[in-house]
């Protein structure tokens, strides 16, 4: 052993551990010659050969009570009864120069008894790189068990030595090598080689309750990591369902401590960004080995909703919900919504993990939530729609009935993207509810009132502006108070009212702007040519003989952006396409608009991509989502970049769409289209003169759009289509509320105090008790949302766990608080926490900590006393 090693070990004793006196016994007198070579500045090195121990005692205690001394004895250590320096040894340090002792010193360990233990680990300690890694993982006060676990971590390449890190690291090895449950990772052989396997098995017994056999501990029987994983996950499953089924009685770890620890350990494993994908793979292996899919079919939905162990559980919950939703009453539908909310906070659908599995389940739950909304609405209107007038139905559509269309759109947008067999039956039930109940009931009720009131002869709704008056009613008043104001009008083709509600909500999520939604009564027929013309400034609108399908505003053609730009130029304005605006930089946009007060922006996504009769028609609801996203961004860009404080968003018309192909009963059976028609489409026929016809509504644009020309049209009743132009699913042109309740969004930019008032914050979450106590390994805690969710107060998703210092000692539970009512009972939720282990001190301070899951910031903490009086009872 060289002098440098001796010096390093001694310097650690004097200067790192700060001992004043160090004793060194060397009965073989192997290091006498090295004493003078030691580089120990400020340390008195005394060779005690022949020196008086009594004399040195006086020197150390009376003459120099502060100096540092190395007392080298070229002899064996005396018995305690004969040792004059025993009292000094009690507050000093002994130094040993054998190989194990030097390693002991190098590791900075304090318990001298560990020297003997290190001697049994000589094979592990023979490698310098392992020693370097071990040093990073240990503490001076470590015990034999802690030291062995640190060695195990080094062998595994784990970044920590707790049981969670060790198990997850081995699990990742198994998955990376695709070993399945039948084969151990090769590193298990290394643990046996270094004599560390008994320590791992003892840790599994102590912390997880794994009943390792004596043969396994002694190495007489090989430990099966796959078998352990089966037992661990089966135990977690049983704990979550609150029972041990017969098939699991020989597998689940029996003690209550073990079940709580298993649940907490699995929770932390699933929450780990590094190891959760290994959990996905291993849980699928275990599920297959246990045939778990065959064992959960009879477990009630409410019980399964508590389980996160296997992906098969998620699939079963979705299957059960698909079956139950269409025929359930409002109370059960409310329960299903609660289950979905909890599952979205749970593992397999967590929005905090963005991978294919999680996205798939979020999509499925999005579809199920929309189906629940749809069937809830049907329950509320089980007797159909019975309103006193067209005005009442129009107002009802504005305030509530549009929700049918939105729920239907949300359902099929998600269902189509998910594209899974499990939704097929629910697809049919949703289609039956919407296309063959809602549209039929609404069409019949609306049609009866339209006919009874002869509404097509005076196409007006009290209190509702008409679309042909858009410029006078909505645009011109914007300039009354501020003549230099700039106004941008965005017209999105076929953007219907229910989508505008969603657009309003998205815009209002931002504090820089505020959107308010109203509507106007669309012109008839509700199609692009007439709708676009009616939105322009004009005194007269008209169709002309020989001009085919063109509408003239004050004698000028309104066909296309170029012609509309000419009309707007007379009002200090211009017409541009949305694609042009999207392409502008800030400076290009400001330059283009610098002399303009009124800008019409023409946006065309829904109609352009859906009204083709081809395959893209099926993606209509996706096109609506694209339109909402584009309009949100377009509005933000105009307000923030182009010196504009107000934007109006409207449409030329809405649309009807159903996912299923139309039946014969959905078509108006006219033999053929009239010869003198200007234009014939699925929902309208328009011509200068049209013959009388049965089973259609016939009217004149003079009454329904204020045209100077008495141009006539046919539209089918209700939601029907004309038979002679096919049965396409995306249509417009008729008089259903979805087509003629045209949205008008007024979006104003907010600055200063107004913007500050719209500053959003998340709701608070607190415990109703300031001091908490835990008397069982698994316990529920109440948490309360401090206020209701509103436009300014946003929902929050929190993570809750119990900590000792910075270390979590329980499962982590994730829950979202999004209640919008003032009911305290509805704003209270429970979290169920499981302790990791059982060695807790009731006199210690533990804390229940509530964190914002998205921001990883602490919100609240509460002192928890853990007093586990009984630890072996089952549940």
Give the pLDDT of residue 669. Answer: 58
CA-derived radius of gyration, the chain: 39
Q: How far apart are CA 138 and CA 161, in angstroms?
A: 9
Model confidence over 444-459: pLDDT tens digits?
999 999 999 999 999 9
Q: Are residues 11 and 37 in the same domain?
A: yes
How sure is the predictor about 220, in pLDDT bands with cuts at 50, 70 and 90? Answer: low
CB 197 within 8 A of CB 149: no
Calculate mean pLDDT across residues 637-659.
Answer: 95
Residue 129 and residue 71: Cα distance in Å, rounded? 33
Q: Give buried/exposed letters for 584-612 (b at 16+ CB in 10 A, else e).
A: beeeebeebbeebbbbbbbbbbbbebbbe
d(CA 264, CA 810): 5
Mean pLDDT, the chain, as a whole number?
A: 91
Here the CATH number for the domain that contains residue 621 is 3.40.720
- pLDDT at residue 616 tops 90: no
**CA–CA–CA angle 778, 285, 262 (5° rounding):** 15
Q: What is the per-residue burial (b if ≥16 Cβ within 10 Å, else e) of 680-693?
A: bbbbbbbbeebeee
Domain range holding 345?
298-452
Kindly report the CATH number assigned to the domain that includes residue 784.
Answer: 2.60.40.2030
Q: Strands 93-95, 21-25: parallel, antiparallel or unpaired by DSSP?
A: parallel
CB 779 within 8 A of CB 832: yes
Per-residue confidence (pLDDT) for residue 873, from 0 to 100: 41
Three-state secondary structure call for residue 778: strand
641 plus 743 within the same structural domain: yes
Which comes out higher in pLDDT, residue 106 or 397? 397
Q: Is the pLDDT of residue 531 over 80?
A: yes
Average pLDDT over residues 129-157: 93
For the segment 82-101, what is each residue's pLDDT rounded down to a tens digit? Answer: 888 888 888 898 888 777 77
pTM value is 0.86
Say which residue, 669 or 159, is predicted with more confidence.
Answer: 159
Tens of pLDDT, residue by residue over 332-380, are 999 999 999 999 999 999 988 989 999 999 999 999 999 999 999 999 9
CA–CA separation, 647 and 636 (whole Å)? 10
User: What confidence tens digit (pLDDT) does each residue in 274-289 have?
Assistant: 999 999 999 999 999 9
Asked if 397 and 502 sit in the same domain, the reply is no
Residue 291 burial (10 A CB sphere; 0-12, 13-18, 19+)? exposed
Of 270, 267, 259, 358, give the one whose Cα is nearest residue 314: 358
More confident residue, 292 or 758: 292
**127 and 248 within one domain:** yes
Residue 441 pLDDT exceeds 90? yes
Cα 490 to Cα 23: distance, rounded to the nearest angstrom:
88
Q: Over range 201-224, report the average pLDDT.
A: 80
Report yes or no on 671 lying in a domain.
Answer: no
> What is the distance between the alpha carbons of residues 318 and 314, in angstroms, rounded to a whole number?
6
Q: Over the stretch 787-829, which tens digit does the pLDDT of each residue have?
A: 999 888 999 999 999 999 999 999 999 999 999 999 998 999 9
Query: Rounded to an integer, what distance in angstroms lies between the CA atom of residue 160 and that of residue 656?
Result: 60
- 668 confidence band (pLDDT: 50, 70, 90): low
Cα distances (Å, whole numbers) of residue 840 to 464, 800, 861: 69, 19, 19
For the chain, the domain total comes to 5
Q: Is 29 left (phi over 0), alpha (psi -120 to 50) or beta?
A: left
Cα separation values, 725 from 101, 680, 720, Å: 95, 8, 12
Give the list of residues 6+ apart from residue 592 with CB closer than 8 angstroms, or none. 576, 584
By CB neighbour count within 10 A (0-12 exposed, 13-18 middle, 19+ buried), where does 25 fall? middle
Cα 699–Cα 701–Cα 707 angle in degrees, nearest 5: 155
> For residue 680, what are the CA distances in angstroms to 695, 733, 736?
16, 10, 18
For residues 365 and 356, what is the distance between their CA atoms, to the nearest angstrom?
Answer: 14
Per-residue pLDDT at 868 exceeds 80: yes
Do 651 and 506 share a structural domain? yes
Q: Which helix (H) or strand (E) holds 626?
A: helix 620-641
Closest by alpha carbon to 259, among 287, 286, 231, 278?
Answer: 231
* 828-834: strand order across its sheet: 765-766, 778-785, 828-834
Query: What is the per-residue pLDDT for 754?
Result: 75
**Contact between residue 491 and residue 561 where contact means Cβ atoms under 8 Å apart:** no
- Measured distance CA(777)–CA(570) in Å, rounded: 78
List the Cα angle 688/693/696 in 5-degree steps: 95
Q: Is the pLDDT of residue 614 over 70?
A: no
- Res 483: pLDDT: 79
Together in a domain, 186 and 263: yes
pLDDT of residue 727: 52
pLDDT of residue 402: 98
Q: For residue 59, is pLDDT > 60? A: yes
The reply to whether 291 falls in a domain is yes
Beta bridge partners of 25: 73
Please state the rounded mean pLDDT for residues 770-787.
93
Q: How confident is the model at residue 147 (pLDDT cuts 50, 70, 90)?
A: very high
Task: Look at residue 869 and tell me whether its pLDDT is greater than 60.
Answer: yes
Q: Does residue 625 form part of some domain?
A: yes
Q: 541 - beta bridge partners?
A: 553, 707
d(CA 335, CA 796): 21
Cis bond upstream, residue 732 (ω within 30): no
Question: Does any domain span residue 714?
Answer: no
- Picking from 144, 196, 182, 162, the residue whose alpha carbon sits closest to that of residue 264 is 162
Instruction: Find all residues with CB under 8 Å of 156, minimum gap 6, and list them.
Output: 166, 169, 170, 173, 187
Q: Is residue 676 part of a domain?
A: no
The SS3 call for residue 747 is strand
Would residue 785 count as lying in a domain?
yes
Tell me: do 268 and 142 sit in the same domain.
yes
Q: At residue 601, does pLDDT exceed 90? A: yes
Residues 367 and 408 in one domain: yes
pLDDT tens-place string over residues 836-854: 887 889 899 999 999 999 9
SS (H, E, C) 23-81: EEECCCCCCHHHHHHCCCCCEEEEECCCCCHHHHHHHHHHHCCCCEEEEEECCCCCCHH
Whole-angstrom Cα distance, residue 801 to residue 850?
Answer: 7
327 inside domain: yes
Q: Give, for 378, the enclosing helix (H) or strand (E).
A: helix 356-380
The per-residue pLDDT for range 476-485, each reduced to its tens digit, is 999 987 877 8
Q: What is the pLDDT of residue 259?
A: 84
Indicate whether 205 pLDDT > 50.
yes
d(CA 233, CA 259): 10
Residue 722 in any domain: the answer is no
Q: E-strand spans in 528-585?
A: 541-543, 551-553, 556-557, 573-577
Alpha-carbon gap, residue 847 to 864, rounded angstroms: 5
Q: Does residue 581 register a pLDDT over 80? A: yes
Strands 556-557, 68-73: pairing kind: unpaired
Average pLDDT over residues 865-870: 81
Among 63-72, 336-345, 401-410, 754-763, the range scoring the smallest mean pLDDT is 754-763
Among 452, 486, 511, identify where a domain stops: 452
What is the structure's pLDDT at 759?
Answer: 81
Same domain membership, residue 123 and residue 45: no
Compare 234 and 80 and report the one with higher pLDDT.
Answer: 234
What does the pLDDT read at residue 682?
Answer: 87
Q: Which of 269, 295, 321 is the last residue of a domain?
A: 295
Lowest mean pLDDT among 87-91, 97-101, 302-306, 857-861: 97-101
In this structure, the answer to whether residues 302 and 365 fall within a common structural domain is: yes
Kindly report the number of other CB atoms within 10 A of residue 49's CB atom.
Answer: 11
Would you place residue 242 in the very low, low, confident or very high pLDDT band (cuts 50, 70, 90)?
A: confident
Closest CA to 151 of 173, 168, 127: 127
Of the candidates 547, 490, 502, the residue with the CA atom closest to the CA atom of residue 409: 502
**CA neighbor of 523 nearest in space, from 538, 505, 544:** 538
pLDDT of residue 634: 97
3 state DSSP class of 150: helix
At residue 694, does pLDDT exceed 50?
yes
Rounded-to-integer distance, Cα 791 and Cα 750, Å: 15
Say yes or no to pLDDT of 857 above 50: yes
**Band (724; pLDDT cuts 50, 70, 90):** low
What's the pLDDT band for 874 if we cut at 50, 70, 90? very low
Q: Are residues 22 and 81 in the same domain?
A: yes
Same domain, 91 and 168: no
Where is the domain boundary, 74, 97, 120?
Answer: 97
The pLDDT, as a whole number, for residue 781 is 96
End-to-end CA distance of the chain, in Å?
Answer: 59
Q: Distance between CA 224 and CA 200 in Å, rounded? A: 13
Contact 739, 522 (CB under 8 A): yes
Averaged pLDDT, 288-294:
95
Q: Which residues of 121-135 are buried (b: 16+ CB within 10 A; e: fewer)?
A: beebbeeeeeeebbe
Number of other residues whose CB lies within 10 A of the CB of residue 844:
11
């Amino acid at each position: 052993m060289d002098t440098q090693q001796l010096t390093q070990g001694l310097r650690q004793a004097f200067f790192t551990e700060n001992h004043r006196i160090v004793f060194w016994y060397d009965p073989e007198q192997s290091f006498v010659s090295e004493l003078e070579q030691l580089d120990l500045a400020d340390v008195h090195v005394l060779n005690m050969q022949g020196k008086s121990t009594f004399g040195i005692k006086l020197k150390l205690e009376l003459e120099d009570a502060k100096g540092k001394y190395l007392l080298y004895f070229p002899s064996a250590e005396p018995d305690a009864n004969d040792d004059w320096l025993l009292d000094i040894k009690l507050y000093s340090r002994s130094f040993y120069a054998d190989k194990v002792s030097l390693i002991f010193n190098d590791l900075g360990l304090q318990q001298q008894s560990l020297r003997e233990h290190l001697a049994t680990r000589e094979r592990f300690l023979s490698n310098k790189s392992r020693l370097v890694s071990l040093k990073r993982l240990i503490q001076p006060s470590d015990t034999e068990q802690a030291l062995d676990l640190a060695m195990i971590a080094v062998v595994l390449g784990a970044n920590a030595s707790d049981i969670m890190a060790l198990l997850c690291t081995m699990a990742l090895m198994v998955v990376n090598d695709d070993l399945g449950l039948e084969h151990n990772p090769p590193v298990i052989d290394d643990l046996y080689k270094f004599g560390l396997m008994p320590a791992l098995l003892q840790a599994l017994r102590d912390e997880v309750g794994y009943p390792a056999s004596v043969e396994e501990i002694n190495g007489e029987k090989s430990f099966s990591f796959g078998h352990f994983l089966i037992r661990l996950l089966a135990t977690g499953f049983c704990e979550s369902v609150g029972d041990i089924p017969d098939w699991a009685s020989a597998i689940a770890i029996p003690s209550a401590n073990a079940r709580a620890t298993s649940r907490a350990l699995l929770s932390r494993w699933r929450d780990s960004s590094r190891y959760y994908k290994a959990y996905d793979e291993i849980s699928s292996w275990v599920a297959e080995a246990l045939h778990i899919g065959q064992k959960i079919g009879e477990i009630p939905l409410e019980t399964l909703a508590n389980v996160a162990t296997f992906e098969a559980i998620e699939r079963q919950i979705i299957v059960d919900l698909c079956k139950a939703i269409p025929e359930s009453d409002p109370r059960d539908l409310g329960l299903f919504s609660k289950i979905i909310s909890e599952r979205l906070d749970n593992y397999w659908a967590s929005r905090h993990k963005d991978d294919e599995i999680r996205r798939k389940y979020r999509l499925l739950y999005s579809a199920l939530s929309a189906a629940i909304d749809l069937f809830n609405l049907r329950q509320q209107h089980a007797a159909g729609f019975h309103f006193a007038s067209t005005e009442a139905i129009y107002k009802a559509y504005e305030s509530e009935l549009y929700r049918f269309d939105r729920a239907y759109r949300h359902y099929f947008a998600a269902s189509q993207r998910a594209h899974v067999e499990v939704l097929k039956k629910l697809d049919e039930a949703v289609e039956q509810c919407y296309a063959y109940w809602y549209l039929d009931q609404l069409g019949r009720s609306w049609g009866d009132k339209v006919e009874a009131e002869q509404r097509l002869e005076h196409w007006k709704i009290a209190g509702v502006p008409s679309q042909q008056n858009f410029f006078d009613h909505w645009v011109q008043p914007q300039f009354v108070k501020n003549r230099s104001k700039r106004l941008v009008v965005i017209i999105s083709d076929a953007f219907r009212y229910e989508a505008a509600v969603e657009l309003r909500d998205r815009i209002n999520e931002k504090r820089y702007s505020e959107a308010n939604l109203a509507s106007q009564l669309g012109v008839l027929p509700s199609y692009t040519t007439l709708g676009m013309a009616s939105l322009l400034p004009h005194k007269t609108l008209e169709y002309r003989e020989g001009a085919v399908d063109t509408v003239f505003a004050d004698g000028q053609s309104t066909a296309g952006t170029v012609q509309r730009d000419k009309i707007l130029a007379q009002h200090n304005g211009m017409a541009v396409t949305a694609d042009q605006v999207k392409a502008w930089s800030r400076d290009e946009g400001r330059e283009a608009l610098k002399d303009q007060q009124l800008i019409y922006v023409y946006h065309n996504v829904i109609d352009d991509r859906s009204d083709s009769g081809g395959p893209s028609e099926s993606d209509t609801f996706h096109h609506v989502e694209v339109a909402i996203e584009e309009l949100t961004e377009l509005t933000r860009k105009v307000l923030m970049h182009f010196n504009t404080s107000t934007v109006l968003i409207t449409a030329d018309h809405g649309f009807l769409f159903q996912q299923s192909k139309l039946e014969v009963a959905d078509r108006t059976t006219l033999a053929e289209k009239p010869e003198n028609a200007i234009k014939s489409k699925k929902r309208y026929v328009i011509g200068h003169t049209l013959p009388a016809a049965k089973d259609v509504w016939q009217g004149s644009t003079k009454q329904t759009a204020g045209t100077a020309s008495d141009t006539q049209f046919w539209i089918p009743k209700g939601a029907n289509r004309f038979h002679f132009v096919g049965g396409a699913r995306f249509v417009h042109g008729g008089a259903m509320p979805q087509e003629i309740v045209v949205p008008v969004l007024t979006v104003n930019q907010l600055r200063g105090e107004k913007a500050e008032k719209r500053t959003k914050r998340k709701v608070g979450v607190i415990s109703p008790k300031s001091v908490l106590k835990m008397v069982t390994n698994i316990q529920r805690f109440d948490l309360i949302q401090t206020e209701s969710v509103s436009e300014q107060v946003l929902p929050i998703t929190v993570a809750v766990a119990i900590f000792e210092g910075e270390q979590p000692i329980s499962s982590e539970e994730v829950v979202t608080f999004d209640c919008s009512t003032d009911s305290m009972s509805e704003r209270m939720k429970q979290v169920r926490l499981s302790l990791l282990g059982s060695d807790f001190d009731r006199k210690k301070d533990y804390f229940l900590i509530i964190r914002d899951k998205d921001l990883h910031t602490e919100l609240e903490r509460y002192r928890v006393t853990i007093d586990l009086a009984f630890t072996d009872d089952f549940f």
